[in-house]
Amino acid sequence: MIRDIVTIGHPVLREATRRITADELSTPAVQQLIDDLIDTMRNANGAGIAANQIGEPLRITVIEVNDNPRYPYKPRIPLTVVVNPVIEPIDDETVVINEGCLSVPNLRGDVSRNVNVRVRYLDRDGVPHDEIMRGLTAGTFQHECDHLDGTLFVDRVTDTRTLTTWEQFERFHRAAFIERITAFVERVGS
Ligand code: ZN
């Protein structure tokens, strides 16, 4: 079921979410919540969505990138259900990514992200995963894990002069960003 997306200013986006137990994960209610996250993300053309973005303060996020009209330069990410994630950088390499967010309507801005991260999480069946993510894919995981800690991308915009509406991004910033980020994706491979 497609759910309403909570927007910036709602306190649920500013609270750390709660880890869930293996028993909770297997309940119909939580499995339904995961399905709702997937439906809501796809309906909004998001690259990911966190449970608190639909008002549920649980440590669950879903991520998927196909041919995404919001972010056409992002490499594909298969549908990934991420429960109780722990994310950590594995080195100091960073990249500046122009980000947007379903909970911050019509705004984008430049954020520095780690290029290489380790992510440990459970999938929807409770199976543990321990994976290395790189490049824009690592950026997407960092954005979604930030949500689960009550952090929004705007908190990480250090140069507020990079803030732009989607319309002005298209007009004035898209070409340069696409050129830079496409070269980055080719170098990093994701
Ligand atoms: Zn977001």
Per-residue pLDDT of the chain (190 residues; tens, 9 = 90+): 999 999 999 999 999 999 999 999 999 999 999 999 999 999 999 999 999 999 999 999 999 999 888 888 899 999 999 999 999 999 999 999 999 999 999 999 999 999 999 999 999 999 999 999 999 999 999 999 999 999 999 999 999 999 999 999 999 999 999 999 999 999 999 8
Task: Check if the beta carbon of residue 87 is closer than 8 Å to that of residue 148.
Answer: no
CA of 171 from ligand 1 middle (Å) equals 23
CATH of 11-188, one of 3.90.45.10, 3.50.50.60, 3.20.20.60, 3.40.190.10: 3.90.45.10
The pLDDT value given to residue 164: 98
- Alpha carbon distance 78, 63 (integer Å): 8
| Domains of the chain, residue spans | 11-188
Residues with Cβ within 8 Å of 116's Cβ and at least 6 positions away in sequence, in order, are 89, 90, 91, 93, 132, 133, 134, 138
Neighbours of ion ligand 1 (CB under 5 A): 101
The pLDDT value given to residue 67: 86
Joined together, the tokens standing for residue 24 give 């909770």
Instruction: Write b or e for each residue in 98-110: b if 16 or more Cβ atoms lie within 10 A of its Cβ, otherwise e.
Output: bbbbbbbeebbbb
Catalytic (active site) residue 144: yes
List, in sequence order, every residue forming a beta bridge with 91; answer none if it has no partner.
none
Catalytic entry in 64, 131, 144, 179: 144
